[in-house]
Amino acid sequence: MAVAEKADERRSANVSTLKAKLLEKILAHRPRTTKLVKELGKIVIDQVTIDQCIGGARDVRCLVTDISYLDPQEGIRFRGKTIPETFAALPKVPGCDYPYVEGFWYFLLTGDVPTKEQTLEVVEDFKARATVPQYVFDVLRAMPRDTHPMTMFSTAVLAMQRESLFVKRYNAGMKKTEYWDPMYEDCTNIMAKIPGIAAYIYRMKYKSDTPIAPNPNLDLGGNFAHMMGLAKPYDDVARMYFILHSDHESGNVSAHTTHLVASALSDAYYSFSAGLDGLAGPLHGLANQEVLSWIQEVFGKLGGKLPTDEELKKFLWDTLNSGKVIPGYGHAVLRKTDPRYTSQMEFCLKNLPEYPMFKLVNQIYKIAPDVLREHGKAKNPWPNVDAQSGVIQWYYGLTEYDFYTVLFGVGRALGVLANITWDRALGYALERPKSVTTDMLEKWAAEGGRKLS
Ligand code: NMX
Ligand code: MLT
């Protein structure tokens, strides 16, 4: 890119430290992507088998992201850092155990750990963008109160699509190299507003329609706890929860859907709303709600008592024999206990070691993997993030478990919105894989494989 063009881009991005740093990173990264596509594009990195074609493209390497990577044995790394490393590296809110979510946003977007000062700049930027338009609340209020909170959340995000700066700039005419700028603005606006939207849905739906106004002196986690009406240390629980749920590389349903929709140059509102719809499925984010309802069922059947190991084993088998999955167990990529589960387990061991529901979760961890192995289907018998998260919410007073996936959605926004900003920055293409017919698969199978010329 010409020096003048770079300078143009810098001028147009003359806003926050984060945005300037992001542009610096984008300009440094673009030549790598260009070289990979133009000079090295025909190098083979994977092959596709018939079972992958029918079976959800499992393990096919055909997506790129530098924001997180999921190793089947080790679990997630955010920008190269494990969960403990991430928590240790980022600036913490004074008097709290967990980092600012805003600093984590800086980290996901740029790959750099922000200083305290850079973090506080993002805190202020989010506050300036946090006001939710009144029409969003009006839309929510017009929906029947028994609407699932994920439907409300996704609708609220979609309703704000008219705010998109990307659409305005695109319609006015803009160079492809500038796409990232209004995308970044839309994504930051969404990120700043959704804690208020989520809390409004919660207070309207479950707390007799008593929304709590935001407190302009608080960071995102603190303000979320305040607007939910949940006392300390729920602010730290929220920070931990949002960071842990943020990103899980690109292939999971919510991240992939957001990326797919954005690839049509749909704006961030359309894209994230669609991603939330995917998150609302019971095999994905809704599993955390299912875990809690399963646990309540066990307690309900035993009059609130903890089961014996034998009783628990029977409950697990009854669930499997009724054709259901054990929620919170198994994973499409992971082949070990999810480190997000471990991180939350450590939180529970420190803060609620004697809580009966936590004891039950631990007991399930002891019994369920063997039951799943004996069942013989799940490739991964170990727990995922959802097996542990609901217990913490319940302990701190958030017992309305059909709201849990909304919490997941607020956290997931950090990852998927950072990703689609980078999609635009690197000019990622419209996603359009090729489909084939069953006849074709049968023919290629009979021939011993498709002839690749
Ligand atoms: N309980 C019972 N059966 C299971 C489980 C489980 N927890 N996990 C996998 N299986 C079955 C699965 O249904 C499939 O059966 P079939 O051959 O009859 O279709 C078989 O085992 C092979 O599946 P896998 O290849 O091991 O898993 P896959 O990659 O297809 O799916 C999940 C991954 C996560 C969808 C699956 O493990 C599952 O349904 N788990 C329970 C739901 C859950 O916890 N989801 C949350 C995932 C994390 N998140 O937050 O998104
Ligand atoms: C996620 O966090 O998205 C889930 O663990 C599902 C996945 O990674 O496929």
> Which residue numbers are catalytic?
284, 331, 386
Residue nearest to ligand 2 atom 8, measured at CA: 252
Reported as a single tens digit per residue, the pLDDT across 189-205 is 999 999 999 999 999 99
Reported as a single tens digit per residue, the pLDDT across 16-49 is 999 999 999 999 999 999 999 999 999 999 999 9
Predicted confidence at residue 9, as pLDDT, reads 53
Q: Is the CB of 252 under 6 A from ligand 2?
A: yes
Q: Which atom of ligand 2 is nearest to the CA of 386?
A: 5
Count of other CB atoms within 10 angstroms of residue 162: 11
Q: How confident is the model at residue 55 (pLDDT cuts 50, 70, 90)?
A: very high
- Tell me the ligand closest to 247's alpha carbon: 2
pTM of model > 0.85: yes
Q: What is the mean pLDDT of residues 300-312?
A: 93
Reported as a single tens digit per residue, the pLDDT across 364-423 is 999 999 999 999 999 999 999 999 999 999 999 999 999 999 999 999 999 999 999 999
Q: How confident is the model at residue 12 (pLDDT cuts 50, 70, 90)?
A: low
Q: Is the CB of 248 under 6 A from ligand 2?
A: yes
Q: How confident is the model at residue 1 (pLDDT cuts 50, 70, 90)?
A: very low
Q: How confident is the model at residue 452 (pLDDT cuts 50, 70, 90)?
A: confident
pLDDT exceeds 80 at position 97: yes
Residue nearest to ligand 2 atom 6, measured at CA: 252
> In sequence order, what are the residues at sequence separation of 6 or more whose Cβ sits closer than 8 angstroms to the Cβ of residue 262?
268, 271, 420, 423, 424
> In sequence order, what are the residues at sequence separation of 6 or more whose Cβ sits closer than 8 angstroms to the Cβ of residue 33?
426, 427
Distance 59 CA to ligand 2 centre (A): 13
Radius of gyration of the chain (CA): 23
Q: How confident is the model at residue 69 (pLDDT cuts 50, 70, 90)?
A: very high
Residue nearest to ligand 1 atom 32, measured at CA: 331
Three-state SS string over the chain comes to CCHHHHHHHHHHCCCCHHHHHHHHHHHHHHHHHHHHHHCCCCCCCCCCCHHHHHCCCCCCCCCCCCCEEEECCCEEEECCECHHHHHHHCCECCCCCCECHHHHHHHHHHCCCCCHHHHHHHHHHHHHHCCCCHHHHHHHHHCCCCCCHHHHHHHHHHHHHHHCHHHHHHHHCCCHHHCHHHHHHHHHHHHHHHHHHHHHHHHHHHCCCCCCCCCCCCCHHHHHHHHHCCCCCHHHHHHHHHHHCCCCCCCCHHHHHHHHHHHCCCCHHHHHHHHHHHHCCCCCCCHHHHHHHHHHHHHHHCCCCCCCHHHHHHHHHHHHHCCCCCCCECCCCCCCCCHHHHHHHHHHHHHCCCCHHHHHHHHHHHHHHHHHHHHCCCCCCCECCHHHHHHHHHHCCCCCHHHHHHHHHHHHHHHHHHHHHHHHHCCCCCCCCCCCCHHHHHHHHHCCCCCCC
Residue nearest to ligand 2 atom 2, measured at CA: 248
Count of other CB atoms within 10 angstroms of residue 253: 18
Tell me the average pLDDT of the chain. 96
Distance 303 CA to ligand 2 centre (A): 34
Most ligand 2 atoms within 8 A of CB, residue of 63, 244, 253 to mutate: 253
d(CA 445, CA 453): 17
Predicted confidence at residue 89, as pLDDT, reads 98
Q: Is the CB of 384 under 6 A from ligand 2?
A: yes
> Which of 1-5, 15-19, 103-107, 180-184 comes out lowest in average pLDDT?
1-5
Around ligand 1, the residues with Cβ closer than 6 Å are: 58, 283-285, 287, 320, 325-332, 377-380, 384-386
With a pLDDT cut of 90, the percent of the chain lying above it is 96
Q: Which atom of ligand 1 is nearest to the CA of 338?
A: 48
